[in-house]
Amino acid sequence: CVATFLMMTSFLSTINHFQMVSTVALPDDDIFTLDIVSKIHVDHDSTAKASSDFGRIVEAIPNGVFHPTSPADIAAVIRLSISQSKPFTVAPRGQGHSARGQALAPGGIVIDMRSMGRGNHGYHANVSSDELWVDVGGEQLWIDVLHATLEHGLAPRIWTDYLHITVGGTLSNGGIGGQAFRHGPQISNVHELDVVTGMGEMITCSQDKNSDLFFAALGGLGQFGVITRARIALEPSPKRVLWVRIAYSDVESFTSDQELLISKRSNGSGFDYIEGQVQLNRTLTEGRRSSSFFSASELDQLAELVLRTGSNAIYYIEGAMYYNDDTASSVNQKLERQLEELSFAPGFVFVRNVSYLEFLDRIGREEQKLRSAGVWDVPHPWLNLFVPKSRILDFDASVFKGILRDAKPVGLILMYPMNKDMWDDRMTPATPDEDVFYAVGLLRSAVAAGDLERLEGENAAVLEFCDREGVGCKQYLPHHASPDGWRRHFGEKLGRVAAMKRRYDPRAILSPGQGIFPTGA
């Protein structure tokens, strides 16, 4: 069996395989008992699929793709790696929806986490209706978590905009969305984790148990272990949603209304979800003529607003008000009351009445449209930033009305504030040092020749502006090409991040695509 494995795989080709495996003391003979060998696929099709991601910018071929069916399988492959004098790298891959190679393992092993769903490891959305939590596997898609919990009349409190990504993938970053102002990011809504560390140990951790690993793994960019189970907080799920977009022609009113809505000052905190978008002039005049929300005629109305006000951009708040049968009769008044507090362009309120599921899976529908138009599988040079509230108007002036002033309409720009006190600073993500900061997502696609270079140039100019002007931005879903970039990214947290790495992945084999630590020590 070992000999077959060694003949099949090329991933350890620089070493004398047979000698190496036969002389190294493997901890529990896991490799034999769990038959991990047959779960490593080294054929071209398998490795090619794991060599790129949603971003389609970076490519790196692994030497094999591992298909575990249990956490013990994952532990075994990690222990096999670290038992070598020169360990191979190991990258868990959820949906591979990262943009810059974060889930790739050049010359190493990619763990196809989705194959865990075909195993029988017992975490298939076990719901506790009494204690309001769900246990889910790290490989599970949020859309499946939603369906499973809705059967109990419950749902997680905070959602990413897109649900066809994995629990382990978003918890390794943060998991932000329009409910974060109230509940914090997804990582603030986790009670417990099972993690397989870079030492091949399977550890259960929480705020009270092995808490250093718990805090490190949440937002940990896959550096400290593989999340195989998460216990996630639930709330009673609403049935329906008033889904609202409110347009502004000036950024000052837009941001001060957003900040009011996420603060406790607002009348009854009417919205359960608050995000926002920036529509650059050319997006409205040359972009797609309908969206999952706006009809063609509504887009025309918005384009007229741009012309009338001479604004280079319009902004809209996207809000959602949840309701049930018993609150159906009062939700419209609640919306009216909330709107009275706001200073949007008169008449520019657009309301949809949809089911909760329809609302949450809105980007899933958009994906289908983009796929049929052939513009889903294209390069995505996305740039996500957290911008401190005190600098958001400078950012708007220099970026939206400067660097991107005449930008081609190729994608989406998100902009919405969050409350820092909903983030736990013991966790790994880096956030700006202000009570309120904005998530700004330049979520653009390279659809035509030359787009990628141009968009990358614009991203570089935005980052250069932030550095030069000392804006204090932090990247979300970060990518830094140099150790200095990571040093500045983590700031004061760097010492703790490095110490946790030494403790839980001392050979530096995990998630090498993040490029934070030199790999394979």
Residues that bind ligand FAD (CB under 6 A): 53-54, 91-98, 102-103, 113, 138, 160-162, 165-166, 168-170, 172-177, 221-222, 226-227, 363, 477, 511, 513-514
Handedness of CA 133, 135, 138, 141 (dihedral sign): negative
**CA–CA gap between residue 98 and residue 171 (Å, rounded):** 13
Tell me the sheet residues that pair with 442: 383, 413
Our CB check for ligand FAD shows the closer of 122 and 153 to be 122
| Catalytic status, residue 275 | yes
Of 17, 63, 16, nearest to 40 by C-alpha is 63
Count other Cβ atoms within 10 Å, centred on residue 130. Answer: 6
What tokens were used for 409? 């309409």
Place of tokens 């809000």: 319
Q: For the CB of residue 250, give the shortest distance to ligand FAD in the complex, in Å.
A: 26
Minimum CB–partner distance for residue 68 and ligand FAD (Å): 11
Residue 496 CB, shortest distance to ligand FAD, in Å, is 18
Query: The dihedral of CA 201, 203, 208, 213: what is its sign?
Result: positive
Continuous segment of H or E residues that includes residue 503: helix 494-504
Residue with Cβ nearer ligand FAD (221 or 305): 221
Catalytic one of 41, 97, 480, 489: 97
Instruction: Please give the Cα distance from 26 to 84 (Å, whole number).
Output: 9
**Distance in Å, CB of 95 to ligand FAD, minimum:** 3
**Helical residues (DSSP H) of 83-164, grouped into ranges:** 142-150
Distance CA 55, CA 356 (A): 29
Other CB atoms within 10 A of residue 295 CB: 12
For the bound state, the minimum distance from the C-beta of residue 35 to ligand FAD, rounded and expressed in Å, comes to 22
Q: Is 434 annotated as catalytic?
A: no
Residue 175 or 276: which CB sits closer to ligand FAD?
175
Query: CB 137 → ligand FAD: shortest distance, Å?
Result: 8
* Closer to ligand FAD by Cβ: residue 94 or 238: 94
Helices in 108-235 by DSSP H: which ranges? 142-150, 167-171, 180-183, 211-217
C-alpha radius of gyration, the chain, whole number: 24
Q: Least distance to ligand FAD from the beta carbon of 403, Å?
A: 23
Yes or no: say if 227 and 293 are a contact pair by the CB < 8 Å rule.
no
Q: Closest separation between CB of residue 224 and ligand FAD, Å?
A: 8
Rounded Cα distance, 245 and 254, in Å: 12
Q: How far is CA 245 from CA 199, 348, 353, in A?
A: 49, 8, 12
C-beta closer to ligand FAD: residue 108 or 238:
108
**Residue 216 vs 284, nearer CB to ligand FAD:** 216
**What 3 state SS string does 218-271 have?**
CCCCCCCEEEEEEEEEEEECCCEEEEEEEEECCHHHHHHHHHHHHCCCCHHHCC
Query: Which residue lies nearer to ligand FAD by CB, 226 or 452?
Result: 226
Task: Detail the DSSP E strand segments found in 288-382.
Answer: 313-323, 349-355
Alpha-carbon span 248 to 346, nearest angstrom: 9
Placement of tokens 């009494």 in the chain: 130
Catalytic residue among 30, 73, 112, 161: 161
In this complex, which beta carbon is closest to ligand FAD, that of residue 94 or of residue 388?
A: 94
Smallest distance from ligand FAD to CB 406, Å: 26
Q: How many Cβ atoms sit within 10 Å of the Cβ of residue 269?
A: 15
Please say if 147 is a catalytic residue. Answer: no
CB closer to ligand FAD out of 83 and 160: 160
Q: Whole-angstrom Cα distance, residue 455 to residue 461?
A: 10
Distance of alpha carbon 474 from alpha carbon 462, whole angstroms: 12
d(CA 324, CA 240): 6
CB of 367 to ligand FAD, least distance (A): 7
| Gap between the Cα atoms of 218 and 357, Å rounded | 26
User: Exactly one of 112, 192, 275, 505 is catalytic; which is it?
Assistant: 275
Nearer to ligand FAD, 303 or 451 (CB): 451
- The catalytic residues are 97, 161, 275
